[in-house]
Amino acid sequence: MYRSHYSKEISKTEYNSTVTVSGWVEDIRNLGSIAFLILRDKKGTLQLTILKKKTPELFERLISLPRESVISVQGLCKENEKVRNGYEILPDSVDILSIAETPLPLGVVDKVEADFDTRLDNRIIDLRKPEVQAIFKIRSAVLAAAHEYLRSQHFLEVHTPKIIASSSEGGTDMFKLRYFEKEAFLAQSPQLYKQSLMATGLDRVYEIAWYFRAEEHNTRRHLNESTAVDIEMAFIQDEEDVMQILEHLVHAMWKRASECREELDILKKTVTIPTLPFIKVPYDDVVDKIQQQHSPIQWGVDLSTEDERLLGDIMKKDGIDFYFITKYPLESKPFYTMPDKEKYSRGFDLECKGVEVSSGSQRIHDVALLIERLKACGLDPKDFDAYLKAFRYGMPPHGGFGFGIERFLMELLDLNNIRECILFPRDRSRLTP
């Protein structure tokens, strides 16, 4: 009985035959002698037409169901050009699998929009909405494209620890935890492990990674638990090799999103595939551009959110959505970033319409220089003994990046809040559901 035909998979060859469909009761319209029930599954909706005279007991069972109850129905599939799919189901029997409580905490098809916190508090119901599901179907599609592209470039998928003994990147934005008798941290990124793998001969690796960052920010662009496509690659000439992989990855993911026509139609969005290569703007030029827009930024510091927005507006006037910021000051980058002479680094950021979506660099592969940079950043090399060990026995030149999935989706689909792009958001004030 539970063998289910998704509504949009029923073909004309199945007209005038018995089919089984299962899903959620989206709506019921009772006209007395006839009732119409809209059934929804992950593929869409279909109409059940119930005739009281033909099946009076079945009629009463179905019209009494609360919305969002789950049923499995067997019945005759008949062509009907007047209904939404060109066919309807005339049910002969029904299994009521689950009866929904009333009232619903959140409407699925109601025209009155709930506030955002109510939606997130009732995320399971929220995720039943076609426009919300569309976001995650596109997310799945673009991640499939990421896997395909990186594997085509000979990258190996890996999984690194999320409980670590020392900070991944330095700084204080770490979640501490007790690990038996020791202190440990949730990983800010897989950075240290990715680099260590470059010493093994697994010289191109990637991970769909989790980031845990105890930042106090509670903005529309920040999460305390987020995901990213993280890669590391060895035997590079410089950071240009890494940027080339990144821009082609973004292009592949953006192109795949453009092929999700049904989901884009639901969201009323259009996707324009960016042109390669992406423009590169040195940090010095960026500072000059935004200072002309009366930003108080001083040379040597990282760009603020407002500075990024200003730069995005400047680039937009030239029709540019994607652009690299290159040649950052060394003092603004993490300890593992390769210096470029005395003042600069081989670090870069990828920005999309005024939002940073990726950060990367060529890394330091010389252990003596790495220890020097740890000290310069106020970190104790002893805390990084396990990490440094990988550099003592032959480490090739390498580099990599982290590419934020939620920020990518936010910009791709022009969404107002990053929490729309992850199933169960974790931020400064939200730990459930």
The string over 312-348, giving b where at least 16 C-beta atoms fall within 10 Å of a residue's C-beta and e elsewhere, is: bebbeeeebbbbbbbbbbbeebbbbbbbbeeebbbbb
Full set of structural domains in the chain with CATH? 7-98 (2.40.50.140), 124-421 (3.30.930.10)
Q: Are 406 and 253 in contact (CB under 8 A)?
A: no
| Separation CA 243–CA 249 (nearest Å) | 10
pTM comes to: 0.93
Q: Is the peptide bond before 274 cis (omega within 30 degrees of 0)?
A: no
DSSP helix/strand/coil, 1: coil
| Partners of 399 in the β-ladder | 233, 362
**Residues annotated as catalytic (active site), given as ranges:** 213, 215, 221-222, 356, 359, 407
* Contact partners, residue 128, CB within 8 Å, separation at least 6: 24, 40, 68, 108
DSSP helix/strand/coil, 384: helix
Q: Are 208 and 227 in contact (CB under 8 A)?
A: yes
pLDDT tens for the chain, 433 residues long, are: 444 444 447 888 889 999 999 999 999 999 999 999 999 998 889 999 999 999 999 999 999 999 999 999 999 999 999 888 899 999 999 999 999 999 999 999 887 788 999 999 999 999 999 999 999 999 999 999 999 999 999 999 999 999 998 766 666 689 999 999 999 999 999 999 999 999 999 999 999 999 999 988 888 888 999 999 999 999 999 999 999 999 999 999 999 999 999 999 999 999 999 999 999 999 999 999 999 998 999 999 999 999 999 999 999 999 999 999 999 999 999 999 999 988 999 999 999 999 999 999 999 999 999 999 999 999 999 989 999 999 999 999 999 999 999 999 999 999 999 999 999 999 999 999 9
| Separation CA 73–CA 47 (nearest Å) | 11
Residue 217 CB: number of other CB atoms within 10 A? 14
User: How high is the pLDDT of residue 13?
Assistant: 86
